[in-house]
Structure 1
Amino acid sequence: MHARSVAAAAIDGVTGELVQAKLTPSHEHVRSWIQNLSGPVAVAYEAGPTGFGLSRSLNAAGIRCEVVAPSKLQRPTGDRVKTDAKDAVHLARLLRLDEFTAVAVPTIEQESARDLVRAREDARGDLMRARHRLSKLLLRQGFVYSGGQAWTGIHDQWLRQTGRELGSAATRMTFESDYDAVLSVKARRDRLDDAIAQMAADCEFTPVVHRLGCLRGVGTLTGFALAVEVGDWDRFTGKTIGSFVGLVPSEHSSGVSRVQGSITKTGNTHLRRLLVESAWHHRPVHRVGKTMRDRWELAGPAARARGDEGNRRLHHRWNTMRARHKRHTVANVAIARELAGWCWSLAVLEE
Structure 2
Amino acid sequence: MERGSLMLNTTTFVGLDVHARSIKAVALDAMTGEVRSATFGYDAAEVAGWVSSVDPSAKCVYESGVTGFDLQKRLSSMGIDCVVGAVSKMIKPSADRRRKNDRNDAEFLARMLSVGNVVEVWVPDDECEAARDLTRALDDAREDLKRCKQRLSKFLLRHGLVFSETNAKGQRKKNWTAAHWAWIRSISFPDKADDEVLAYYIDAARQAMEDKARLERLVEAEASKPRWKKRVDSVRCLKGIDVTSAADLVFEAGEFSRFKNARSFAAWIGLTPSEHSSGESVRQGGITKAGNKHLRRVLVESAWHYLGCSPHSKDLAKGQAPDPGARRHAAKGVRRLVGRRAAMLERGVHKNKANVATARELACWCWAIGRMVENG
Q: 1:77: how far off?
A: 2.3
Structure 1 CA distance, aligned partners of 2:318 and 2:339?
22
Match of 2:291 in 1: 267
Match of 2:310 in 1: 286
Match of 1:225 in 2: 248
Report the secondary structure of 1:255's partner residue. Answer: coil
Structure 1 stretches of at least 4 aligned residues deviating more than 3 Å after TM superposition: none
Paired residue total: 348
CA contact (8 A) 1:214 1:296 kept: no
Q: 1:300: how far off?
A: 2.2
Q: 1:36: how far off?
A: 0.3
Structure 2 CA distance, aligned partners of 1:158 and 1:93?
65
Structure 1 CA distance, aligned partners of 2:204 and 2:31?
62
Match of 1:49 in 2: 66
- What is the 5 A alignment of 1:200-219? 200-219=223-242
Report the secondary structure of 2:276's partner residue. Answer: strand
Match of 2:277 in 1: 253
Match of 1:75 in 2: 92
Q: 1:320: how far off?
A: 0.8
Structure 1 CA distance, aligned partners of 2:318 and 2:342?
25
Asked if 1:129 corresponds to 2:150, the answer is no
Asked if 1:187 corresponds to 2:204, the answer is no
Asked if 1:3 corresponds to 2:3, the answer is no
Structure 1 CA distance, aligned partners of 2:337 and 2:193?
52
Report the secondary structure of 1:254's partner residue. Answer: coil
Which blocks of at least 5 consecutive residues in structure 1 are unaligned?
none
Structure 2 CA distance, aligned partners of 1:78 and 1:14?
26
Paired amino acid for 2:252: E
The one-character-per-residue Cα deviations of 1:246-282 (angstroms, maximum 9, x if unpaired) are 1122222222222222222111111011001110111
Structure 2 CA distance, aligned partners of 1:286 and 1:97?
53
Report the secondary structure of 1:193's partner residue. Answer: helix
Structure 2 CA distance, aligned partners of 1:203 and 1:221?
16
The one-character-per-residue Cα deviations of 1:303-341 (angstroms, maximum 9, x if unpaired) are 111110111111111101110112211111110011000
CA contact (8 A) 1:213 1:295 kept: no
- What is the 5 A alignment of 1:11-90? 11-38=28-55, 40-79=57-96, 80-90=98-108
Structure 2 CA distance, aligned partners of 1:235 and 1:300?
20
Report the secondary structure of 2:308's partner residue. Answer: coil
CA contact (8 A) 1:210 1:295 kept: no
1:169 to 169, 189, 192: 192
Match of 2:11 in 1: none
Structure 1 CA distance, aligned partners of 2:266 and 2:40?
39
CA contact (8 A) 2:45 2:75 kept: no
Structure 2 CA distance, aligned partners of 1:33 and 1:297?
51
Report the secondary structure of 1:348's partner residue. Answer: helix
What TM-score results when the alignment is normalised by the length of structure 2?
A: 0.89
Match of 2:134 in 1: 116
The one-character-per-residue Cα deviations of 1:122-178 (angstroms, maximum 9, x if unpaired) are 0000000110111111112222223422212222112212x23x3332222211111
CA contact (8 A) 1:275 1:339 kept: yes
Structure 2 CA distance, aligned partners of 1:221 and 1:101?
30
Which blocks of at least 5 consecutive residues in structure 2 are unaligned?
1-17, 165-171
Structure 2 CA distance, aligned partners of 1:255 and 1:78?
28
Asked if 1:145 corresponds to 2:163, the answer is yes
What TM-score results when the alignment is normalised by the length of structure 1?
A: 0.95
Q: 1:203: how far off?
A: 4.0
The one-character-per-residue Cα deviations of 1:284-318 (angstroms, maximum 9, x if unpaired) are 131658x7333795112211111101111111111
Paired amino acid for 1:113: A
